[in-house]
Structure 1
Amino acid sequence: MIAELLAAYRPRDPDEAADLARVRELVRDADDPWSRAIPLHVTASALVVHPPTRQVLLRWHARQRAWLQVGGHADPGETDPLAVALREGREETGLTDLRPWPDDALVQVTVVPVPAKGHEPAHEHADLRFLLATGAPERARPEKPGADLRWLTVGQARDLTTERNVREMIDRAGEHFR
Structure 2
Amino acid sequence: MRHDDLIHDLAALRSSAVRDSFHAFVRGGGDTALRRDGGAEHVTGSCFVFSPDFTQVLLCFHGKGQFWVQFGGHIEPGDPSIAAAARREAREESGISDLALLSTGIIDLDRHDLNGGFACSAHWDIGFAALADPTTSLTAVSEESEDVRWFPVGALPAEIPDGFAKRLAAARVAAMQISVV
- C-alpha change, 1:158 and 1:24, in structure 2 (3 Å) is farther
Structure 2: how far apart are the matches of 1:7 and 1:64?
31
Identity of aligned residues (%): 27
The answer to which of 151-160 and 89-98 deviates more is: 151-160
Any unmatched runs of 5+ in structure 1?
Answer: 12-16
Match of 2:156 in 1: 157
TM-score normalised to structure 1 length: 0.82
Matched residue, 2:85: 84
CA contact (8 A) 2:141 2:148 kept: no
Which residue in the other structure is 1:106 paired with?
106
Identify if the C-alpha distance between structure 1 residues 97 and 150 changes in structure 2 by more than 3 Å, giving closer, same or farther: same
Q: 2:155 corresponds to which letter in structure 1?
A: Q
Deviations 1:35-58, CA, capped at 9 Å, x for gaps: 223122100001111114721101
Find out whether 1:9 has 2:8 as its counterpart. Answer: no
Residue in 2 aligned with 1:129?
127
The one-letter amino acid paired with 2:9 is: L
Q: What amino acid is aligned across from residue 50 of structure 1 in structure 2?
A: S
Contact 2:44 2:74 in 1 (8 A): yes
- Unaligned 5+ residue runs, structure 2? none
Query: Paired residue for 2:117?
Result: 117
Q: Which range is displaced more, 141-150 or 105-114?
A: 141-150
- Comparing 136-145 and 33-42, the one that deviates more: 136-145
Deviations 1:105-133 (A, max 9, x none): 21111101112437x2x511010001111
**What is the identity, as a one-letter code, of the residue corresponding to 2:149?**
R
Give the total of aligned pairs. Answer: 169
Kindly report the root-mean-square deviation, in angstroms, between the aligned alpha carbons of the 2 structures: 2.5
**TM score, norm. by length of structure 2:** 0.81
Check conservation: 2:110, 2:125, Cα contact below 8 A: yes
| Structure 1 pair 77–162 and aligned structure 2 pair: CA distance change class (3 A) | closer
Checking the alignment, whether the CA contact within 8 Å between 1:47 and 1:131 is kept in structure 2 is yes
Name the residue aligned to 2:35: 35
* 1:151, distance to aligned residue in structure 2 (A): 0.4
Answer yes or no: is the 8 Å Cα contact 1:95–1:136 preserved in 2.
Answer: no
Contact in 1 for aligned 2:44/2:124 (Cα 8 Å): yes
Runs of 4+ in 1 over 6 A off after TM superposition: none
**Structure-2 change in CA distance of 1:174 and 1:64 (3 Å):** same
